[in-house]
Amino acid sequence: MKPKNYKRGYPVAVLVGIEQDHAAIWQIFSQVAKQQQTITSGDRKDQKTQYSFHEAIINALRPVLKEGVRSIIVASPPRMSYGQEFLGHVKGHHSWLLQGTNKATFSHITSSASTPAQVSALTKTAAFKQLIKENAAEETENLLKILEKRLNQTDNLVYFSLQETENIILFPQPPGKPQPEYLMLTNNYLAASRQKNRVNRLMQIAARNGVKTRVIDAESNAGARLTQLGGIVCLAKLV
């Protein structure tokens, strides 16, 4: 049996489609978009109501951010300021999301993204694909900084092979032992693997267990570094 994430591919970004009366949260995978949830907005003229609405969107994003997806694309219809208002809320009340090596990348695109048909059309546009590319470039630079920092440490918490990575992710580690934190692999490694089911299963279990799992473009700086290391790396930490 193939893993559930086989047809949807790997996570790429989160799309937040904000309309007058609601926001639709979508997880964008390499093969498909899946709706996560819908949040109603209430009275847009009431500041407290809109504050709560924006906070509800942030709370909906938290689980995906914990999984390691750091690219957030906000969409709102033409001539409407819904997206910019939410981004202003992020900047004013959640600056932690925009700082440090684990920061998220927020972008805005003018479009409706409330229904499956709208999202399907949007994700096929050149503008959306360019945003995905730009966000991925910034995200992978942050991942590269994390990777290089760990490689320069002496605690030996970096694993470079599929077997080593499986050992630490698939089998629970007792307290005091290294715990998996990041699973990084290049798209070329995933595409060329002769054991795709094995790799996809590892990615699925890693994500389910809270390991930040990212497939990185082999042509990016981080991807080139990963390729030098064999194409797959697991970073662990002591907790």
CATH (domain of 116): 3.30.420.60
Q: Which amino acid belongs to residue 141?
A: E
Residues 131 and 16 placed together within one structural domain of the fold: yes
Q: Which of 111, 140, 169 is the last residue of a domain?
A: 140
Structure tokens at 220: 């990016």
168 contact partners, CB below 8 Å, separation of at least 6 = 159, 178, 179, 180, 234, 236
Residues 41 and 80 placed together within one structural domain of the fold: yes
**What are phi and psi for residue 36, nearest 5 degrees?**
-95, -50
Residues 25 and 81 placed together within one structural domain of the fold: yes
Residues 70 and 109 placed together within one structural domain of the fold: yes
Residues 175 and 108 placed together within one structural domain of the fold: no
Digits of tens for pLDDT over the chain (239 positions)? 444 444 677 888 999 999 999 999 999 998 899 999 999 998 888 999 999 999 999 999 998 888 888 899 999 999 999 999 999 999 999 999 998 777 899 999 999 999 999 999 999 999 999 999 888 888 888 888 888 988 888 777 999 999 999 999 999 888 888 999 999 999 999 999 989 889 999 998 998 888 988 899 898 888 999 999 999 999 998 87
Domain span including residue 86: 11-140
Residues 190 and 214 placed together within one structural domain of the fold: yes
Residues 63 and 131 placed together within one structural domain of the fold: yes
Q: Which of 112, 140, 168 is the last residue of a domain?
A: 140
- What's the number of domains the chain is made of? 2
In a domain, 3, yes or no: no
Residues 91 and 133 placed together within one structural domain of the fold: yes
CA distance 162 to 193: 10
In a domain, 4, yes or no: no
The pLDDT, as a whole number, for residue 52 is 97
Residues 99 and 21 placed together within one structural domain of the fold: yes
Concatenate the DSSP letters of all residues of the chain into one string: ---TTTTT-SEEEEEEEE-SSEEEEEEEESS-EEEEEEEE---TT-HHHHHHHHHHHHHHHHHHHHTT--EEEEEE-TT--HHHHHHHHHHHH-GGGGSSTT--EEEEEES--SSHHHHHHHHTSHHHHHHHHHHHHHHHHHHHHHHHHHHTSSS--EE-SHHHHHHHHHSPPPTTS-EEEEEEEEHHHHHH-TTHHHHHHHHHHHHHTT-EEEEE-TTSHHHHHHHHTTSEEEEEE--
Residues 221 and 160 placed together within one structural domain of the fold: yes
The pLDDT, as a whole number, for residue 141 is 84
The pLDDT, as a whole number, for residue 3 is 45
Residues 107 and 166 placed together within one structural domain of the fold: no
0.85 surpassed by pTM: no
Q: What is the CATH number of the domain that holds 174?
A: 3.30.1330.30
Residues 49 and 163 placed together within one structural domain of the fold: no
In a domain, 228, yes or no: yes
In a domain, 171, yes or no: yes
Which residues, in sequence order, are bridge partners of residue 28?
Answer: 13, 33
The pLDDT, as a whole number, for residue 107 is 95
User: Helix crossing, 162-170 with 196-208: angle to 10°?
Assistant: 40
